[in-house]
Amino acid sequence: MKTVITYGTFDLLHYGHIEIFRRAKELADGGKLIIGLSSDEFNATKGKTSHMPYEKRKELVEAIRYVDKVIPEENWEQKKNDITEHDVDVFVMGSDWKGKFDELKDLCEVVYLERTPAISSTAIKNVIAELQAIEADS
Protein backbone atom coordinates (compact mmCIF):
# COMPACT_ATOMS: atom_id res chain seq x y z
CA MET A 1 0.00 0.00 0.00
CA LYS A 2 1.28 3.40 -1.00
CA THR A 3 0.35 7.03 -0.55
CA VAL A 4 -0.03 8.95 -3.81
CA ILE A 5 -0.39 12.71 -4.21
CA THR A 6 -1.37 14.88 -7.14
CA TYR A 7 -2.14 18.58 -7.49
CA GLY A 8 -4.44 20.79 -9.50
CA THR A 9 -7.24 23.31 -9.59
CA PHE A 10 -9.83 20.75 -10.70
CA ASP A 11 -12.23 23.45 -11.80
CA LEU A 12 -14.96 22.39 -14.22
CA LEU A 13 -14.49 18.78 -13.19
CA HIS A 14 -14.63 16.39 -16.16
CA TYR A 15 -13.97 12.81 -17.17
CA GLY A 16 -10.25 13.47 -17.67
CA HIS A 17 -9.95 14.46 -14.01
CA ILE A 18 -11.77 11.32 -12.91
CA GLU A 19 -9.39 9.25 -15.03
CA ILE A 20 -6.35 10.92 -13.45
CA PHE A 21 -7.80 10.21 -9.98
CA ARG A 22 -8.61 6.59 -10.91
CA ARG A 23 -5.18 5.92 -12.36
CA ALA A 24 -3.42 7.65 -9.45
CA LYS A 25 -5.46 5.56 -6.99
CA GLU A 26 -4.39 2.40 -8.84
CA LEU A 27 -0.77 3.43 -8.26
CA ALA A 28 -1.58 3.55 -4.53
CA ASP A 29 -2.00 -0.23 -4.65
CA GLY A 30 -4.70 -0.27 -1.99
CA GLY A 31 -3.32 2.81 -0.23
CA LYS A 32 -4.54 6.38 -0.31
CA LEU A 33 -4.79 9.24 -2.78
CA ILE A 34 -4.26 12.81 -1.58
CA ILE A 35 -5.28 15.75 -3.74
CA GLY A 36 -3.46 19.06 -3.34
CA LEU A 37 -6.22 21.42 -4.45
CA SER A 38 -5.07 24.86 -5.59
CA SER A 39 -6.45 27.59 -3.37
CA ASP A 40 -8.12 30.63 -4.94
CA GLU A 41 -5.22 32.77 -3.70
CA PHE A 42 -2.63 30.47 -5.28
CA ASN A 43 -4.57 30.45 -8.55
CA ALA A 44 -4.51 34.26 -8.50
CA THR A 45 -0.69 34.24 -8.27
CA LYS A 46 -0.71 32.02 -11.39
CA GLY A 47 -3.07 34.41 -13.19
CA LYS A 48 -5.89 31.86 -13.07
CA THR A 49 -9.45 32.16 -11.87
CA SER A 50 -11.89 29.36 -11.08
CA HIS A 51 -15.57 29.16 -11.87
CA MET A 52 -16.09 27.70 -8.39
CA PRO A 53 -14.48 28.87 -5.15
CA TYR A 54 -12.05 26.58 -3.32
CA GLU A 55 -14.59 25.27 -0.77
CA LYS A 56 -17.02 24.15 -3.50
CA ARG A 57 -14.22 22.54 -5.53
CA LYS A 58 -13.03 20.80 -2.34
CA GLU A 59 -16.52 19.38 -1.67
CA LEU A 60 -16.73 18.15 -5.25
CA VAL A 61 -13.31 16.46 -5.20
CA GLU A 62 -13.93 14.93 -1.75
CA ALA A 63 -17.08 13.28 -3.13
CA ILE A 64 -15.07 11.26 -5.66
CA ARG A 65 -14.59 7.69 -4.48
CA TYR A 66 -10.92 7.51 -5.49
CA VAL A 67 -9.97 10.48 -3.29
CA ASP A 68 -9.06 9.89 0.35
CA LYS A 69 -7.95 13.36 1.42
CA VAL A 70 -7.91 16.90 0.05
CA ILE A 71 -5.35 19.46 1.22
CA PRO A 72 -4.96 23.08 0.10
CA GLU A 73 -2.17 23.92 -2.34
CA GLU A 74 -0.98 27.39 -1.36
CA ASN A 75 2.29 27.68 -3.34
CA TRP A 76 4.67 25.83 -5.66
CA GLU A 77 7.23 25.21 -2.92
CA GLN A 78 5.00 23.23 -0.53
CA LYS A 79 5.20 19.98 -2.50
CA LYS A 80 8.42 18.81 -0.81
CA ASN A 81 6.92 19.47 2.62
CA ASP A 82 3.66 17.70 1.69
CA ILE A 83 5.56 14.64 0.46
CA THR A 84 7.45 14.42 3.75
CA GLU A 85 4.52 15.33 6.02
CA HIS A 86 2.11 12.84 4.42
CA ASP A 87 4.71 10.10 3.87
CA VAL A 88 4.06 10.12 0.11
CA ASP A 89 5.44 7.29 -2.03
CA VAL A 90 4.32 8.49 -5.47
CA PHE A 91 3.88 12.01 -6.88
CA VAL A 92 1.59 12.09 -9.94
CA MET A 93 0.98 14.81 -12.52
CA GLY A 94 -0.34 14.92 -16.06
CA SER A 95 2.12 14.37 -18.90
CA ASP A 96 1.95 18.03 -19.91
CA TRP A 97 4.07 18.66 -16.77
CA LYS A 98 6.69 16.06 -17.78
CA GLY A 99 10.09 16.92 -16.33
CA LYS A 100 8.83 19.89 -14.30
CA PHE A 101 8.84 18.01 -10.99
CA ASP A 102 11.82 15.70 -11.44
CA GLU A 103 13.56 17.39 -8.48
CA LEU A 104 11.10 15.49 -6.27
CA LYS A 105 12.57 12.13 -7.34
CA ASP A 106 14.93 12.20 -4.36
CA LEU A 107 11.85 12.13 -2.07
CA CYS A 108 9.50 9.74 -3.89
CA GLU A 109 8.65 8.17 -7.22
CA VAL A 110 7.47 10.75 -9.79
CA VAL A 111 4.95 9.60 -12.42
CA TYR A 112 3.58 11.64 -15.32
CA LEU A 113 0.28 10.19 -16.56
CA GLU A 114 -0.91 10.68 -20.13
CA ARG A 115 -3.86 13.05 -20.34
CA THR A 116 -7.25 11.79 -21.45
CA PRO A 117 -7.53 12.65 -25.16
CA ALA A 118 -10.04 15.18 -26.48
CA ILE A 119 -10.95 16.81 -23.15
CA SER A 120 -9.43 19.56 -21.07
CA SER A 121 -10.51 22.29 -18.70
CA THR A 122 -9.03 24.86 -21.09
CA ALA A 123 -11.20 23.59 -23.95
CA ILE A 124 -14.29 23.72 -21.73
CA LYS A 125 -13.42 27.27 -20.57
CA ASN A 126 -12.97 28.34 -24.21
CA VAL A 127 -16.44 27.02 -25.10
CA ILE A 128 -17.93 28.83 -22.10
CA ALA A 129 -16.18 32.07 -23.13
CA GLU A 130 -17.50 31.71 -26.69
CA LEU A 131 -21.04 31.14 -25.42
CA GLN A 132 -20.76 34.13 -23.09
CA ALA A 133 -19.55 36.30 -26.00
CA ILE A 134 -22.48 35.17 -28.16
CA GLU A 135 -24.87 35.87 -25.29
CA ALA A 136 -23.37 39.34 -24.76
CA ASP A 137 -23.80 40.15 -28.45
CA SER A 138 -27.46 39.14 -28.39
* Residues designated as active site: 46, 48
Rounded to whole angstroms, how far apart are CA atoms 99 and 32? 24
Rounded to whole angstroms, how far apart are CA atoms 113 and 110? 10
